[in-house]
């Protein structure tokens, strides 16, 4: 099969890779309908994380081709969406809703690499969710978003306890930040402040439910959000960037006793303990347990209640993956879908 | 009146200080029945925080002597317990239960200094709670503990969501850690692991409800707690020290999706964002909103359900405050009560 390999930072190639096979009775092999490039794929692309002939990709939708003997909930021919973290969905941690910390957790990005024609998915029952029917390609963007960015933004909004009567502030206007805006609106937030200085993303944020846009960053951004919230800060804050500035900005705009949901992958962030301490806030973050939310999210998409697919602003064939990475790296695209 | 002044690190004196007076209509002046030295008082004592003729003390019980014209819930003659943070208990933040982040928050330690015969307490209605009757001196230690260490340990246990079916681990065997053990037991925790290598404190931890003692620290401590919890870590972890090692130890022993309550005042702690991120845990901490818990805690003490007073293992008259600091600094005492 064809699949993406990042030879080294900046060098993305589509190559022949071995076809995946069932190795464990809990495995499934899927034929991908679509995959995409994630903001987090830019970390190795830019040399911030190592990349040495690394398979890439962790978002995926497709059709089950074959299953192991122990797989019960999906069968060949089923259209499925999976989480970017493998989970058994039966262990104590999964049952508590933290499938991304499953005792069998495995990052799809590191070992499987779904920017490819096919993929072996371990723990298929605990990782994949069948769609209510076979979708047409017009639904692919929305379903693919559920695999990570929607699930992650949704988790962030839940972690931040976005809901009725709450003012939510979202730091980060990438795909996850935009999905967090959508999630906050669906969860009933009263007011949603999107922090963005990018006109096109501001427009999309408003489309998804943002009521206010704040262009300022850092200390100025903190001051601005405080002004908008009677000096107190937001009830619910979502951090969807992962830099020192964005993380501390997010801490700074959370009111005392408020909730911070942080899903931007932290790189070289050092949180001063004393600042977090005196902030007096709830914080919950990390790789999102997307599997917890998938069944609900797929139903909402199927019912036409949400359209997360708009975060894809460029679609290319898998063979053009190198251009997809370039477009995102140069910020010519927010998120690129790769078709097969 | 007589009161403690820390001239500089290590130099604690009891001196004549001006008698407090009502300055605002919401003030009360109290005559102290007892006060004490806190673990956090050792930070300036050891030169980790600056001290330049600083008034000291933030824990207090006593009798109301005079109130301002706007005070409604306490009156001269009432016996009261107060929080170590002033709060109005009416603002939006207080109503959400985070009185330590009140819009009128003021640290008693910094400006008032209750290691003294008398104290002016601003926002008396929102800060002080009247005891059900006038206590005898045998209840002073328990009531005084409620003012900070019990309230803080209780908050930590609530923040860590200690409760039925939960395994709770407590990092820190000082007064706050011991009170967190007591709180976890009262909240119904199934198993309570106290991390301590001090025989006397281990004994007290067991008295307060610890079911397991772990003497190992750092990575070894993390491994030991994991061993005790089926490899998963504790559901609920309380950090009651405030050093880099203790904080990261606490993060390390919290299971994915578990809850960390951190109340050790962080000094020079730098939390690696990436470690907190991949831990995937809930965290809530900071100065405890003791006022939230005071009414309930006073009732439990009055009913004889809890006896937090045992954390005081040395009692000295206020005039011997310097010796009280020395005894705690040299770890000859866990916590010293000062009588008047």
**How far is CA B227 from each of CA A99, B32, B214, rounded to the nearest angstrom?**
21, 47, 11
Overall average pLDDT of the B268-278 stretch: 95
The answer, for A272 touching chain B at a CB cutoff of 8 Å, is: yes
Mean pLDDT over the full length of chain B: 97
Phi-psi region of B92 (alpha: psi -120 to 50; beta: other; left: phi over 0): alpha
3-state class (DSSP) for residue A10: coil
Closest residue by Cα to residue A235 from A164, A151, A150, A153: A164
Concatenated DSSP letters of B144-197? HHHTTHHHHHHHHHHHTT--TT-EEEEE--SHHHHHHHHHHHHTT-SEEEEE--
B65 to chain A, minimum CA–CA distance in Å? 32
Closest B-chain CA to A105: B256
In this complex, the residue of A96, A100, A274 whose CB is nearest that of residue B267 is: A274
Q: Is the pLDDT of residue B105 over 90?
A: yes
Q: Structural domain boundaries of chain A? A: 2-148+289-339, 152-285
pLDDT tens by residue, B11-53? 999 999 999 999 999 999 999 999 999 988 999 999 989 999 9
The fold adopted by the segment(s) B2-148+289-339 is Quinone Oxidoreductase; Chain A, domain 1 (3.90.180)
Residues of B with Cβ-Cβ distance to A281 under 8 angstroms = 284, 286
pLDDT tens by residue, B328-338? 999 999 899 99
* pLDDT computed for residue B268 by the predictor: 87
B2-148+289-339 shares its CATH topology with B153-285: no
Tell me B262's DSSP state.
Answer: E
Overall average pLDDT of the B245-252 stretch: 97
* pLDDT computed for residue B209 by the predictor: 98
Q: Do A232 and B103 touch (CB under 8 A)?
A: yes
HSE (side-chain half, CA atoms, 13 Å) at B282: 27
Q: Is the pLDDT of residue B150 over 90?
A: yes
B239 to chain A, minimum CA–CA distance in Å? 12
Closest B-chain CA to A247: B273
The answer to whether the Cα torsion of B305, B308, B309, B311 is positive or negative is positive
B247 to chain A, minimum CA–CA distance in Å? 9
Are the beta carbons of B166 and B235 closer than 8 angstroms?
yes
Q: Is the pLDDT of residue B181 over 90?
A: yes
Closest A-chain CA to B278: A286
Residues in contact with A194: Cβ distance below 8 Å, sequence separation at least 6, in sequence order:
A170, A173, A177, A181, A202, A205, A206, A210, A212, A213, A214
The segments of chain A whose pLDDT lies below 70 read none
The fold adopted by the segment(s) A152-285 is Rossmann fold (3.40.50)
* pLDDT computed for residue B182 by the predictor: 98
* pLDDT computed for residue B266 by the predictor: 79
The confidence band for B127, taking pLDDT boundaries of 50, 70 and 90, is very high
Q: Is the pLDDT of residue B306 over 90?
A: yes
Query: Tokens 């600056």 sit at which residue?
Result: B50
* pLDDT computed for residue B104 by the predictor: 97
CATH among 3.40.50.720, 3.40.220.10, 2.70.98.60, 3.30.930.10 for B153-285:
3.40.50.720
Residues of B with Cβ-Cβ distance to A230 under 8 angstroms = 92
């Amino acid at each position: 099969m064809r699949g993406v390999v990042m030879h080294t930072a900046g060098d993305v190639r589509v190559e022949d890779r071995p076809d995946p096979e069932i190795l464990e009775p809990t495995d499934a092999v899927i034929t991908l309908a679509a995959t995409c490039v994630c903001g987090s794929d830019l970390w190795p692309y830019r040399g911030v994380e190592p990349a040495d002939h690394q398979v890439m990709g962790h978002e995926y939708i497709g059709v089950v081709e074959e299953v192991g003997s122990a797989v019960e909930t999906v069968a060949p021919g089923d259209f499925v969406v999976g989480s970017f973290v493998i989970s058994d969905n039966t262990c104590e941690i999964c049952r508590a809703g933290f499938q991304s910390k499953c005792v069998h957790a495995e990052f799809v990005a590191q070992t499987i690499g779904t920017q490819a024609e096919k993929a072996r998915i371990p723990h298929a029952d605990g990782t994949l969710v069948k769609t209510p029917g076979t979708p047409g390609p017009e639904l692919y963007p929305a379903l693919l978003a559920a695999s990570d960015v929607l699930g992650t933004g949704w988790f962030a909004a839940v972690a931040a306890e976005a809901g009725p009567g709450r003012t939510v502030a979202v730091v980060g206007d990438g795909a996850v930040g935009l999905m967090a805006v959508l999630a906050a609106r669906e969860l009933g937030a009263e007011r949603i402040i999107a922090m963005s200085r990018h006109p096109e993303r501001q427009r999309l944020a408003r489309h998804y439910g943002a009521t206010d846009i704040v262009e300022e960053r850092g200390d100025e951004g903190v001051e601005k959000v405080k002004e908008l919230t009677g000096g107190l800060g937001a009830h619910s804050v979502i951090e969807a960037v992962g830099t020192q500035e964005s993380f501390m900005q997010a801490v700074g705009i959370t009111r005392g006793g408020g909730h911070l949901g942080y899903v931007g992958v932290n790189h070289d962030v050092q949180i001063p303990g004393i600042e977090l301490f005196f902030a007096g806030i709830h914080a919950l973050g990390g790789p999102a347990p997307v599997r917890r939310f998938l069944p609900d999210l797929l139903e909402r998409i199927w019912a036409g209640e949400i359209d997360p697919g708009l975060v894809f602003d460029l679609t290319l064939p898998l063979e053009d993956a190198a251009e997809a990475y370039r477009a995102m790296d140069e910020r010519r695209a927010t998120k690129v879908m790769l078709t097969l």
